[in-house]
Structure formats: C-alpha cells, structure tokens
Amino acid sequence: MVNLKAGRVTVGEDFDNFNSKFQNLAFGSGQAGNWRGDRWFNWPVSQWGGRVKLNITPEVFFQVGFYNQNRANDDRGDGFCLDTSNFEGNLVPVELGWQPTLGPDKLPGNYRIGYYYSSANGDVYGSWRDGAYQDKDHSYGGYVLLQQQLTAQGGDVSRGLGVTVQAVMNDYKTSKTDNYQSTAFTCAGPFDARPEDEFGIAAARIHVNSDYTRALRQQNAANDETDFDSPIYLPITGRFGV
C-alpha cells in the first residue's frame, strides 16, 4: 500500500511519467521538467530526494516528493560531488494518478494530474528595470497527462490505436516557458504480417513567457544592441510548434 524511495534520484522517474513512443523532447515523459528545467530535473540529472506513494486502490494512487534544489546538480564537473553545499531550496511535487483497464479488452490507461512548488528564488521577469531584475520569487506550476489505449487488435492490447494528451502550466513570474500542450496518436501492429510495426503523429505547442520576451528586448535596448551575430545580443524567443 505504501511505497518509499529515497537517494540520488530524478523527479521525472516517478512524476508526470509514461512510456513514450516518440524520440522528441516535446512528446516524451516528464514534460513538466522539460519546460521548467531550472527547477524540475529529469534524467540524467539527479539530486538528493525521495517520494512517498500511497496505492489507494489497485488503480488509484497518490504520491508526494521532496527534492533538493542545488545549482551544482547539473554541473558536469561536479557530477560525483554528493554534498548539499550549494543548497538553494526544495522542490515538492504532488500527484494523483488513475491507471485503469477499460472495456472487455481491458485497454490500459494512465491519467495523472500534478502540482509542484519550489522554494528556490528566481528572477521575476516582469521586474526588469534600471539594468537588473528588481524582484525574486518562488516557483510553482501544474501538469496534466492523459494516456489511453483506444483499440486492441484481436484482443491484443499491445496492438491498436492509442492517444496521449499533455499540458503544463508554469507561473508567469519566474518561468521562461509558461505553458505547453501536445497531442500524440500512435498505432501499433496494424498488419498481421508485421505485428511489431508502429507509426504515429504528434503536435506540440510551447509558449514563451511574454514578460521574459519583453525583458530580453529591454536588455538589448539598454545595451544598444541590434546585431543578432553579436555575442552580447540576447535572442528573442516566442511561441513555436513541433
């Protein structure tokens, strides 16, 4: 009923986790960390931490984690330094999950909703003036993962059509990427002669915080810099799709 984990771990191995068929950053597991990588560390960056998972029923679970925030965690030259001398705060994610098997074919699903809070301070991008950010604040965000096998081929759930929908919302004060959404469809084993073939199609939308974009423009203006090739020019980012 109760499962415990502690040590040098990653957040994405337990939270916002699923088996992805796409080798693409925008469609894989742990999207909450992909778009908030300064707070939420996915593989291969580890940190001291752990989580407690309560299996309420065979299908429903609730879990809470506690992870050390340390700027040395993603420093390649500090990879085997296991101390906490650069402690900045803690990341605390919570997640409610439902993993049913639906219908006579027992089609598997993976439904998760989560929230995270980080006590580490970060720049408030809307506070840029007089050559610097004037405010700092803690960070928070949430995510949704909906994954469901829709059909089975001859009763075989390893074959058939599946769908995955994901969304992430980050606070607009301290996050460079404030929201993300994606939808992916996969089809496994469509032909009896080739039961292990797979194909899929997916689309994602990633939105950069407008306060962050505005701050970049203000910094370029303050530096009187308009040349993209200049080493001090800050590239202006926006929204994009994959």
DSSP state of 191: B
- For residues 198 and 190, what is the distance between their CA atoms, to the nearest angstrom? 8
The H or E element that residue 218 is part of is helix 210-222
Do 64 and 97 contact (CB within 8 A), yes or no?
A: no
Q: Provide the pLDDT for residue 232.
A: 63
Q: What pLDDT is recorded for position 39?
A: 87
Domains of the chain: 2-241 (2.40.160)
pTM equals 0.86
pLDDT of residue 233: 64
**3-state secondary structure string across 5-49:** EEEEECHHHCCCCCCCCCCCCCCCCCHHHHCCCCCCCCCCCCEEE
Contact 89, 121 (CB under 8 A): yes
Per-residue pLDDT, 241: 44
The string of pLDDT tens digits covering residues 223-242 is: 776 666 666 666 776 544 44
Q: Tokens at residue 235, please?
A: 């590239």
How high is the pLDDT of residue 112? Answer: 97
Instruction: Write down the pLDDT at residue 234.
Output: 66
Of residues 37, 46, 36, the one with CA closest to residue 14:
46
Tokens read off for 124? 């408030």
Q: Which residues of the chain have pLDDT under 70?
A: 75-84, 225-234, 237-242
Residue 48 CA to its chain's centroid (Å): 19
pLDDT at 106 (0 to 100): 93
Amino acid identity, residue 71? R
